[in-house]
Chains A and B, each alone.
Chain A
Amino acid sequence: MADPKKLVEMLKSLEDQLVTCMRCGMCQAQCPVFAQSGREGDVTRGKIALLAGLAEEMIKDPEGVNNKLNRCLLCGTCEANCPSGVKVTDIFLRARAIMAAYNGMSPTQKLIFQQLLTHPGLFNTILDLGAKFQGIFTKPVNDMLGTSCARFNAPIIGDRHFKTLAAKPLHSDVPSLDTPAGASNLRVAFYPGCVVDKIYPSVGHAVLKVLKHHGVGVFMPKGQACCGIPAISNGDVASFQKMVKANIELFRKGDFDYLITPCATCTSTIKKIWPAYYEDKSDQITLAKIVDKVKDVSAFLVDVLKVSPMDTEGTKTVTYHDPCHLRNSLGVTAQPRTLLKATPGVKFVEMTDAASCCGSGGSFNLKFYELSQEIGRKKAQHIIDSQAETVATGCPACMMQMTDMLSKAGASRKVRHVVELYADTL
């Protein structure tokens, strides 16, 4: 497009939201990116002012503004604490879509979102190949995977101390499931999400084990697509529509009480982003049903299955990191801790600033690895200071980031999903 007039026009559609920022600056206390850089352009207030400046044609450099806009983890901490109730995530996602429409996407981005992530079968095949050959990755594959679902680029880029692609992704072990409700009388749909499927299949297996133990039937259709967050946070609204559509088609067929995910980001995307941005009117009823039923796995175990704390305390010390997308977007903070306290052998210890972001934030980690690391280093230090042997969390992206950061700090701490620890004891 690259027509400045059109850009201004599109940005005007954000105006009603932009003006709700009263510029109090209180978000400076919240933003992990600002905490590192100390620059106003990196904090919410600055980004909103820049967008407003662009819309009012007081600023003439869309690319400059876009760069600032991208320096955001979409962690939602500022939004959760904004006195004025500014819908920050919504503003930023819409602005990114506008910028992408204005600038156009890079060929790699197009390939990734439009060809790969929207075609789960192809995507799986390529990654399965990737898993086999990751020792000898060639440059183009590197590039492609690196920019793909930004949340799992880490394994193959730069000097990251990564968790490699799993030798056997979840979908090849368990392509699909359709089991009847057992003792619990409940049936859930299971959406592992890409990171669990391809990097942490053990988390997926843990969820299935736990569900089986509690007599919960599982509907897990074959060929699930990405939740769409990598596409929409890079401004590719069209690919996002396709991914959501593919998932809706799959889950429409099932009959279930809840839709469970072990990924904070997926849960929050389905709960908040799908209804706000998915456009196909004919799917709205199914969409509403799914949105209504989606639940984080630990929230399901504690709220629905009533898993409750043990009387006796164990000896294995475990601390917990609050994934932003669970805490800020869904308000899930108590249940994962309850689940840990309900896990035999676990002694729960709280770390300092458990709620602060780990610095992963999807494509942020890719685009601003240095900054992401600086934020992550703080997290790693808090984990180390807690003296816990294991850090547990509810977001596989956080797991990757913390593994990277702890490994760099030379700390031998285990990084596990809360549900894995629980499943270990069943």
Chain B
Amino acid sequence: MRLHHGVRLAVVLGLLATGVACSGGDGSGGDGKVQLTVLSHYGSDPAKAGLDKMIAQWNQENPDVQVKSEVVKFDDLLTTLTVRQTGGRGADIVSAYGLWGGQLQKANVVAKVPDDVAQKIKASYSPAALGAVTTGDTLLGYPTELNTYALFYNKKILAAAGVTKPPATWAELADTAKKVAKRDAKGNVQVEGLSLIQDGDNKSAHPFLSLLDAAGGSFLGEDGTAQFAGEQGKAALGLEADLAGAKATDPSIMPTKQFRSGGVAMAIQAGWWVGSLKTQMAGKYSDVGVAPIPGPAAGSKGSLAYGFFMGVNQRSKHPDEAWKFLTWLNEHQGSAGVTGMGEYLAGMGLIPPRTADAATLKKSLDDPNLVPIYDAAEYAMPEPNLAGAYEAKTALHNAIMTVLADGKSPDEALTQAAKAVKPQ
């Protein structure tokens, strides 16, 4: 019957269409060229233009291995990675936040770094950069971005309160924050003393972890157990609770929005902020000072370092070519005696994770505010990136917020957060 033929035809066409849709390419062009894809969050300039320029150079020099850049916003990166990988269409090279490293490794996304490449990486990168892209003993790929935390302050606001130099101890930090904080009669914050929260994914956890590091504490143990609920953690969160109680810090204030207009006197923030502030504050950028994050006692200081890495997908059909490209990308020489990647990262206001690049660039830094940020790479606590680290950081953030927003006791909050952390 005609009807049956029609149905059969529809089913066959449907299956064919599904087959075509589901089949991934083999990454080879019809002319024998290898095609590699790089998935990253470098979707807007100057990051996009810089990466595209390096890829164009590679493509010109290596006609047999052509690289294509695929970009998404940072907020969509992990979701895109998950969906594409699950659907069998993952990129050959993935750029990922170090914190996700444990999850990506556990789920067989990132391939093992070849021994010769691993040796080169271990010999050439700073401890903070290596720590931020290593899970257990496993290196996940080439460290790319590296960010450390520092104390940003508005010189003008501090000077108006009679403070001429940045705080060097927790007592000075608290005194200064309380002295400069201002509210109007209706309770609206006019100047926040010290911001302990930020926009984006890191929320309140990174400022707290920087203070924790300054007190000599640590976040997670090697097995993923919570280490932050000890005496140092309680002291660091106690300092935050004291500032919240005195209304010198307020979680409703976002420093990335209010610092530039003089609404925040001090903020514990990551180094990338320098580039943003320069653009946003223009002439008023000279009011910005950057200092190390102080510890409880004079001379102590701390910071947190987080990184990104570029690794090869375990399902890539061309891992050798992918590593070859990544090695070139991270090692080829640019101008001014630094690698092309180092130049690219420094151009965006980031610390190049390669020790030699950082040392060379540090000699000619045009902005003194970058010095404490570069220095912090030597002592910052690398952000742990075990499989459960992201969830642990979220639990920690919630605990900190119960203190800052709800006035809960630091000890109780940290104990509860520690219970929520699952050892791996």
Whether chain B is bound by chain A comes out as no
